[in-house]
Amino acid sequence: MSHRAGRHFLQIPGPTNVPDRVLRAIDFPTMDHRGPEFGELGKSVIADLKKAFKTAGDVVIYPASGTGAWEAALVNALSPGDAVLMYETGQFAALWHKLATRLGLAPEFLPGDWRSGADPVAIGDRLRADPQHQIKAVCLVHNETSTGVTSRIADVRKAIDAAKHPALLMVDTISSLASIDYRHDEWGVDVTVAGSQKGLMLPPGLSFNAISRKALEASKTAKLPRSYWAWDEMLASGKNGYFPYTPATNLLYGLREALDMLFEEGLDNVFARHARHAEATRRAVRAWGLEVLARNPAEYSGALTAVLVPTGVDADHVRKVILEHFDMSLGTGLGKLAGKVFRIGHLGDFNDLMLMGTLAGVEMGLQIAGVKAKPAGVQAAMDYLFACARGATPVQRAAA
């Protein structure tokens, strides 16, 4: 392929654009991971990750993709054959369900329509129908990256409490941590799973578990085999900032920088920026005359938007046209959404003009691909961003 000038637009919903500051932070000589400097780095990133998870509890860092942290959550807290309640929000929930099955757990999948979040009422009803407390954990994906739907974890917590059920609550925040408001302690989550390559603005290769006291207690009697993922050894070394095995040293330099950037901006401002870009994107989609996959406005994702293409159109053809003409990657439709949607990632290190460039690429690509869409989305998004930039009140913004 010949040289393409300018930056590639990496608008898949993860891995996301890695900021130059993070790339430069990674580009340092690898240090001795048993030496004194490393311990200071390890302690500081663990302390600051706790702020990102909003927990006073324990956090462990794995040199692994997000899938590793999924496995870690299950093997540390559960025993062979344990019943686990999962909710079919989309492809990532389906993959976690498959992983649980392969580990020898007995996951039950509450059916979903791949356009909505986990239903707290259905979860509460199922738990009330389990008076013997066979179900040991409820596992949910906070932000379902295949659909652009964010589940209401606080409401699920209330439903579990109302059912007076002792199941652990495990939540995958791989595409929501540091993009969408999340509160491990306040929402009574027992294990939160996260990864480096989405809202945390790092390359792939790190993943995390935030662990409640209740989950830690459960791990003491849980019987699934575990070694690489074992919390006890990770936590024992982690107290002093070290790892039981070789950590991903240079990615941890990057994590240090990424956390600094997030706190310099302020987490609430980061969430507001994502919400603004998500709203601008949905306005563009509607102005094109297309449909946002997410059904319920209370569950719209701040991290990405999945766009339904009209029947008869192959969404992957639209993606291909956009890549060829404008050097931009969009997310493909996963699982049963293949060919039906494309996904616009607007998470991570991203600003208003990057979003406008992204939407302009989509708008032009739709025209080139021959999709019946009005070329009015870019203007609609710009009107909204302009209103926000002028400091409009929420009411004025809604009218923009």
Rounded CA gap, 223 and 364, in Å? 55
* Residue 188 CA from chain centroid, whole number: 19
> Considering only CA atoms, which of 194, 179, 203, 209 is closest in space to residue 76?
209
Smallest gap, in angstroms, from Cβ of residue 244 to ligand PLP?
Answer: 21
Instruction: Using CB under 6 A, count the residues that bind ligand PLP.
Output: 12
Smallest gap, in angstroms, from Cβ of residue 172 to ligand PLP?
Answer: 5
Contact between 331 and ligand PLP by CB under 6 A: the answer reads no
Which range touches ligand PLP (CB under 6 A), out of 63-71, 260-268, 282-290, 369-377?
A: 63-71
> Residue 118 in 3-state DSSP?
coil
Which range touches ligand PLP (CB under 6 A), out of 65-73, 156-164, 274-282, 352-360?
A: 65-73
Which range touches ligand PLP (CB under 6 A), out of 47-55, 64-72, 262-270, 310-318?
A: 64-72
Nearer of residues 94 and 369 to ligand PLP, judged by Cβ: 94
Neighbours of 1 (CB within 10 A): 3
Sites for ligand PLP among residues 309-328 (CB under 6 A): none
Nearer of residues 85 and 127 to ligand PLP, judged by Cβ: 85
For tokens 């995958």, name the residue.
172
**Tokens for 102?**
């392969």
Give the CA distances from residue 146 to residues 11, 143, 228, 301, 351, in Å, rounded to whole numbers and listed in that order.
14, 9, 29, 11, 22
Whether 9 contacts 357, CB under 8 Å: yes
Contact between 141 and ligand PLP by CB under 6 A: the answer reads yes
- β-pair type (191-195, 168-172): parallel
**Tokens for 234?**
């990770």
Contact between 67 and ligand PLP by CB under 6 A: the answer reads yes
For tokens 């006890």, name the residue.
232
Of the residues 9, 11, 12, 14, which one makes contact with ligand PLP according to CB under 6 A: 14
What angle, rounded to 10 degrees, do the helices at 267-288 and 249-265 form?
80
Sites for ligand PLP among residues 152-211 (CB under 6 A): 172, 174-175, 195, 204
Contact between 65 and ligand PLP by CB under 6 A: the answer reads yes
Of the residues 76, 145, 147, 179, which one makes contact with ligand PLP according to CB under 6 A: 145
Which residues of this chain interact with ligand PLP, rule CB under 6 A? 14, 65-67, 92, 141, 145, 172, 174-175, 195, 204
